[in-house]
Amino acid sequence: MGALEIDEYARLDAVGLADLVRTGQVGAAEVERVARRALERAHGDLNALTGPLWDPAPAHSPDGPLGGVPVVVKDSGPFVRGRSFSLGSRALVGAVAHTDHTLMARMRAAGLVALGQSTVPELALGLATESRRYGVTRNPWDPERGVGGSSGGAAALVAAGAVPLAHASDGGGSLRVPASACGLVGLKPGRGRTPCGPLTGEAAFGMVSEFVLTRTVRDAAHLLDALGGPAVGEKYVPPPPSRPYARALTTGPGRLRVAVTTTPWAPTTVDVQVREAALTAGHLVEWIGHHVDQAHPDLAYEDTVEAMTLVMVSTGAALLGSGRGVDPDALGAVARRVLSRTRRCSALEVMAGLEAQHRLTRALGVFLDEYDVLVTPTLGRLPAPHGVFDTDDQHHTLRSWLEQAAAYAPFSAPANVAGVCALSLPLAQSREGLPIGVQLMAAAGREDVLLALAAQLEQAAPWEGRRPPLHV
């Protein structure tokens, strides 16, 4: 076995690292040693870990398909048995998970080596990974800018080469927004494609999906093969894929009918460079050989806001139901408003939010029955500077907070509300050298179509050689 240099490690994706370990070219212990060095180096630049690395790492199967590949998990709740979590809040310090999340159990079985925990905004709400508890997580492309949220620490570490993939979750863009801000592949699986138990029956009325952030499309496909599928007894059971997702990358999706739009579903404007990136992606899709139209679904902004309010209320309910006393003074202003709204939320308000969810689900479903894929920008603008999303701003209402998020990411939330699958690809860069993500969206259960088209785009406009200035 040879020694693994940190430069080689940082260039490899998860599949590449797993191949080295499986063929005996490098040992799993050597990969872990280099990964720990890389994580500590990246954290010093980016402030993306919640604390010291875990030593020893949680038990895992060395014979899994990704045996020996390092990963970090998001501080978004009780995920790893015996490990503490706080959701980025000083109000939950000392909470410990008493069982594995089902996704974590599958990570162990796949051979992934969990080495630590990544930073999030308070209560994992919002689109900036900045909190009283952890401070500001910096973007490796520009340390004066944010990494998005809520899976921001995860995105920073993957983009910096510290790990090839990281656990992430998405309740309104929380996986795709950091993917766009940090130049990564961010797949939000459709409702029920990945498990949400055993502690949660449905995360935020089915609007939250758990998965990972990666640098390559093939990693996203292989990880969905390893981690995907509902657990026994879960509420949402999508149809099983007709073939492994990894195989979809090589067989192609056939000729697709694709819609392209840069018209946001929120009352906001889209940055010129962002708009051009999405339109260029549409031209590239057409050049590959697919049919492309300029078209967009008729989605009501008020339905999106009303349904997304349920995500916030669900988060507050989980906190209040955690069995721990919550000190409001330990929370930021936005988190206090979430708790206040949760306490006074009536059954009629919940029903109204669910009806809004159903209306938007039908509208987007009808559109994605006509078109195989919808192409949009991921964000409405370039990665935001630090401090734009101030969770301690006393003037914020829950509505104004949602509107601010919608202005920054006006294309992401409908996929969560409707439960369809969506993917952000790092297809472009701004004149300033910042990543620009392009979003692909497909009907529920069609992750295979998304990944197959994404693989074609990755081959036609590769991003493999791009590295941020802050890289291990």
pLDDT digits (tens, 9 = 90+) for 196-242: 999 888 889 999 999 999 999 999 999 999 999 999 999 999 999 99
Residues assigned a catalytic role = 74, 150, 174
In a domain, 135, yes or no: yes
Measure the CA–CA gap between 244 and 76, rounded to whole angstroms: 29
- What is the pLDDT confidence band of residue 133, given thresholds at 50, 70 and 90? very high
In a domain, 472, yes or no: no
pLDDT > 70 in the chain, percent: 99
Q: How many CA atoms lie within 13 A of 59 on its CB side?
A: 3
Write down the pLDDT at residue 318.
80
- pLDDT tens for each residue of 41-97: 999 999 999 999 999 999 999 999 999 999 999 999 999 999 999 999 998 888 899
If one counts the domains in the chain, the total is: 1
Measure the CA–CA gap between 152 and 167, rounded to whole angstroms: 11
Ordered DSSP codes for 410-472? TTTHHHHHHT-EEEEEEEEE-TTS-EEEEEEEE-TT-HHHHHHHHHHHHHHS--TT---SS--
Write down the pLDDT at residue 327.
81
Write down the pLDDT at residue 2.
67
Domain that holds residue 200: 6-460
**Is the predicted pLDDT of residue 319 greater than 90, yes or no?**
no
Residue 240 tokens read as 């099983």
- pLDDT tens for each residue of 369-413: 999 999 999 999 999 999 999 888 888 888 898 999 999 999 999
In a domain, 469, yes or no: no
Write down the pLDDT at residue 181.
98
Which amino acid would we find at residue 95? A
Residue 455 tokens read as 């693989």
In a domain, 339, yes or no: yes
In a domain, 1, yes or no: no
Write down the pLDDT at residue 360.
98
Which amino acid would we find at residue 77? G
Is-above-0.75 flag for pTM? Answer: yes
**Which CATH number fits the domain that encloses residue 96?**
3.90.1300.10
Instruction: Go through 54-91 and write b for each residue having 16 or more CB atoms within 10 A of its CB, e for each that does not.
Output: beebbebeeebbbbbbbbbbbbbbbbbbebbbbbbbbb
Q: Tell me the average pLDDT across 103-124.
A: 97
Contacts of 60 (CB under 8 A, 6+ apart): 67, 107, 108, 109, 111, 112, 113, 114
Measure the CA–CA gap between 423 and 413, rounded to whole angstroms: 12
- What is the pLDDT confidence band of residue 255, given thresholds at 50, 70 and 90? very high
Q: Tell me the average pLDDT across 345-353.
A: 94
Helix axis angle, 301-320 to 333-344, nearest 10°: 90
What is the distance of C-alpha 208 from the center of its chain? Answer: 10
In a domain, 447, yes or no: yes
In a domain, 23, yes or no: yes
Measure the CA–CA gap between 459 and 247, rounded to whole angstroms: 16
In a domain, 467, yes or no: no
**Is the predicted pLDDT of residue 279 greater than 90, yes or no?**
yes
Mean of pLDDT over the chain: 95
- What is the pLDDT confidence band of residue 429, given thresholds at 50, 70 and 90? very high
pLDDT > 90 in the chain, percent: 86
